[in-house]
Structures are given as C-alpha cells and as structure tokens.
Chain A
Amino acid sequence: MTDWEAVIGLEIHVQLATQTKMFCSCSPVFGDDPNTHTCPVCLGLPGALPVANAQAVHLGLMIGLALGCSLASQSVFHRKNYFYADSPKGYQISQFDQPLCGPGNLAGVRIHRVHLEDDAAKLIHASESGRIAGADSSTVDFNRAGTPLAEIVTEPDLHSAAQAREWLALLRTTLRTLGVSDVSMDEGSLRCDANISLRRVGDQTLGTKTELKNMNSFRFVERGIEAEIIRQRELLDSGQTVTQETLHFDPRSGSLTTLRSKEEAHDYRYFPEPDLLPVEVTEAMIASARDALPELPIERAARYVSELQIDDVLAERLAGDAELAEFFDAVVEAADKSIEARVLATWVSDDAAGRAGDDGLLASKLEPAALAELVALVDDGSITTAAGRTVLDQLFEVGGSPAAIVSDQGLGKVDGGDELEAAVDAAIAAEPEAAEKVRAGEQKALGPLVGVVMKHTSGRADGGEVRKLLLERLGS
C-alpha cells in the first residue's frame, strides 16, 4: 500500500459587509422578499453601467493587510463571460489578472491572491420553491446579484481535512475580527471550495486535482474533503487515475457527484471590463485600511502569552474566538490588577464560555465587570470556588452584582466558628464508620465526612479548613 499525501487548496468567497452592492447603490441585505433590491445596474438592464464601491475596495485592502498580502498599486476588473440564469449581464465582473491583493500568508498557509467580484443572482428550482411554475422551470431572484465578494485563494498548503477545517476557522475568526463580513456559512456569506489532489509522500509534483464546490458548513468542509481524499486514494490504490472535474458533496448521503459544467469548455473569454477604468490603490487608501485594522487573532494570542503570561493553548483558545477574546479583554480591563490574568482566563474560557454554549457569551446576562468582581471574591477568600460557580449561574441567568447575590443568598464563606463546628460534629455523627477509620489513621476516609460538611454548608466552607477541623476532632 502506497502512502499518499493529500494536497489541499481552498477558495473562499466572502460577502463583504457593505451598505450597497459592488457596482450599484442597492442594499445587499439577505433574506428579504425576492426581487425587491434591484436597479437597472444589478438587473443588467440595457444601458446601465457599473461603478465600483469604494467601501468594498477598502474592505478588500483590509483583508489583504490582515493576510499579509502585497497590495497592488493598480487593479483591473475583467469580464468573465458565461450564460446562466443567475447572471444578469451574461458576465461576472471580477479582478482577473491584476487582483487587489497578491501573495500573503496566514498561519503558515500561503495566500495566492485576494480579489473582488460581484455575486450572482439566486436561482430557485421549482422543486425547492414549492410553487407551481411548471415542473421544468425555475425562478430567479436578483436581490443577491451584485453583492460584493472577496475571493481568497490559498496555495495548496493544507494536507488533511481536519487541518483545512481548522485553518478555515482561523480565517473566519480573522475576517469576523476585521468586521469585513458576517462570515455566516448558513446564510452563504462565507462559501468554501476546495481543490484536492493526492501524491506519493515525498513527491514534489502535484497529482490531478478535483474541485469540491460550495460546502456550506465547517463540518461539511471537513467531511467533504475527507470523502474526496478517500475516493481518490481508492482510485489510485486500485491503479486507476483521478479525472479533473468539479464535484458536489451531498452531506446527507456523504456521496460526491459530478457537477454539470456551467459553460461548455469553460471558455470564459476574459477581457478588461470596458465600462470600468483600473482602480488605482493610493497610499491614502492603504493608510486608511491599515488604520481600520483591529488586533488580529494571531497577534492577540501572542500578546496573551507575552504580556499576560497565559499558556499557549489557553491563549489560542481565547484569541481564536473573536467574541470570547473581546469579553476576556473587558474582564481583564475591569479586574483588580492584583488578580493574575491566567486566573481570569480560566474563568472566562472554562466556566463562562462553558456555560455559554453555542449561543455565545453575548447572549447571556453576564457582564465582564461582574465576572471580574466574582473572581476577586473567590481570589480574596470571601467565597469558595464552588460558591463562585453558583453565583456565576445566577449572573448568567439574571445578571446583577456578585456581592449582592452572595449576601442575598448567604453564600459567604463559613469561617470557622460555631456554624462550621456544628456541621463537623453533625458529619461525624452521620458517618460513624468513616469517623472510626480516620481515627485509625486512614486519611482517605475523610472524603465522605468532608462531603457531608459541604452539603450542610452549601459549599460555602473552605475544604482545607474543614479537613483541619475534622482531624482535630478525630484526634489523628
């Protein structure tokens, strides 16, 4: 059996978060009634002309800078000619041989290019729409036509389905942090195609690649690529060859099907769009894109390690989620400086994020300042860690002040005194066998006794103190 290495490159289409479409002033909003956001330009009416959106160019430059790309001084739009019902003009306008951004790199994966183009309309097939328009007809909705897209193309630097998914997640967080796109795979504002080929481990030349189209979730990206790698491996192992083709992954059946080609022989007859002049990228435009860049996930993780002494894994986990990282930064900002950042980080990453689940922290009632206050109460010994978690539950559900919750519900730590002594006595009475074992020097028998004390004090007692007291009473 030969050892095969997968070679994977990604092409990612990102809908840019602009107020208007790429070449006209219609809103690119998603989800409205069909054909309510169109004009002569995006409907391709006779005589209408495109004018490029300055904000789309600005967002494209931000993406280029964030991905470490070289920026073109001039970019040229081309026409990509093809006939299809989703194409109002009979061509797509795309930066073909002079893209806005050239080579770059994100986390070791080389970026080939980033360029701007306009999106196609939405074709609703009769079977999907449920409307009776004749079984062999489709309906076209031009709301999406002309939505600005940035296409990000990587070099074939990925080598497994899992790695592709992980890298795509980093790219998505980076784009979300930039604020250039909603990056929602559900709504199609982030779409991913993959080029996949296999070669013998150690070979330098690339094998025949296939293109896997429009996988619309992270899971499907991983599963689709995995399925294609297996398919190619089986072909090659059995002495067959891979055919260059475009495939569609059906997540329900897990199968790959060949897509019908859009244009016979793919002769797109590219030529410079004569309705547009080249976009000149000025120093001022680059400076303005640079000024608009927030701290990126990779930079943020590095800062957490170097400035906040957080370990690598935790730092990457926090920084890899733009929302979580912003929440964490706010907690650090609000917290007393005497509290170590890595303690805060654990609370944010493990306790808070763990409770948030898929909805995210922002959907909860928890405020960063409240979490900072809560950690301070635990840190100075006012409450136990267990009580702190109880308070956190409350903060999540109803919000409010940790100190108030502690005092309202009597969650303050039981500090020695009568209450604790009474609880210890009660525990010894309740677990005589365990008490006898401890007296006989069997220390691990302390467990059940501590458990009873904790139960009686609702976790407000300090474990160390309870142990100490039990040992004193049991005279060992």
Chain B
Amino acid sequence: MIAKMLDRSEVIHIARLARLNLDEGEIERTAIELSGILDHVERISELDLEGVEPTAHAVATRGELRPDIQGASLSRDQALAEAPVTDGVGFIVPSPGA
C-alpha cells in the first residue's frame, strides 16, 4: 500500500508540522518506533472496505445547534490569569516573523 519504513526526513517533516523539537537520537528512535507501529496498524489494509461508509461517531449522528443567546464571558483578568507572559491587556507572544 505505502512505504512502511519512515525515513529521517519524514520524521523531521512530521515533527515540524506538529511543532515538536526532536534531537538526533529522538529522530532515529521515532523513525523506528513509528515504523513498527505503522507496520502493525497497516494490517487494516487487508480488509475489503469497498462501499463501507466511515464512522466518525458511533452513537449520535445529528448535532444539536445552540440558540444565539449571549452568556457570561470571562473577565480579562480571568482570561489572562494563567498566561505565561502577559502585559495585563493581552497575551504576549514572540513575534511570528522573528
């Protein structure tokens, strides 16, 4: 079906998508571990799934909507209470362009 062995560059690409720093050792280890797991889970490729619909939720199928009525919001102090870095008005982040 697909190449089962993940290579270094794929692991680096996935880590970048997931925003996870991996050191050299972790890249190697992850490639081996994920390849092993994928090798196992790819057994589902043996199944004939022609015409089988996917199931996203097992029990309920239709979502209830919410009436358009305002509820309580957090105060700004509550919103900022757990922020690692704040100026009391907003959440401070490193500049995206830096």
Contact = CB atoms under 8 A, between A and B. Distances in A.
A, B bound: yes
Interface of A: 18-20, 23-27, 33-40, 43, 51-57, 83-85, 123-126, 131, 133-134, 136-142, 260, 263-265, 267, 269, 272, 274, 276-280
B94 A136 contact: yes
CB-based closest 3 A-B pairs: A25-B71, A277-B63, A55-B68
A144 B75 CA distance: 15
B18 to A, nearest CB: 9
A13 to B, nearest CB: 20
Interface in B45-77: 56-57, 60-76
Contact of A142 (B16, B72, B79, B95): B79
18 contacts: A18-B68, A27-B70, A35-B91, A36-B73, A37-B73, A38-B73, A39-B71, A39-B72, A85-B96, A124-B90, A126-B95, A134-B92, A138-B93, A139-B90, A140-B92, A277-B61, A277-B62, A279-B65
B91 A137 contact: no
Contacts, number: 125
Q: Which of B16, B68, B72, B98 has the most CB of A within 10 A?
A: B68
A63 to B, nearest CB: 16
Contacts of A125: 95
A226 B6 CA distance: 47
B6 to A, nearest CB: 16
Given A20-B66, A23-B66, A277-B60, 17 more contacts: A27-B73, A38-B79, A39-B71, A39-B72, A53-B65, A53-B68, A54-B67, A85-B93, A123-B93, A134-B92, A139-B91, A267-B17, A269-B17, A277-B57, A277-B62, A279-B63, A279-B65
Contacts of A56: 68
A19 B67 CA distance: 10
A185 B94 CA distance: 29
Given A52-B65, A279-B63, A272 B56 contact: yes
Interface of B: 13, 16-17, 19, 56-57, 60-76, 79-80, 87, 89-98
B76 A51 contact: no
A278 B60 CA distance: 10
Contacts of A136: 94-95, 98
B69 A20 contact: yes
A136 B19 CA distance: 20
A38 B66 contact: no
Contacts of A24: 71
A29 to B, nearest CB: 10
Contacts of A38: 73-74, 79
A36 B87 CA distance: 14
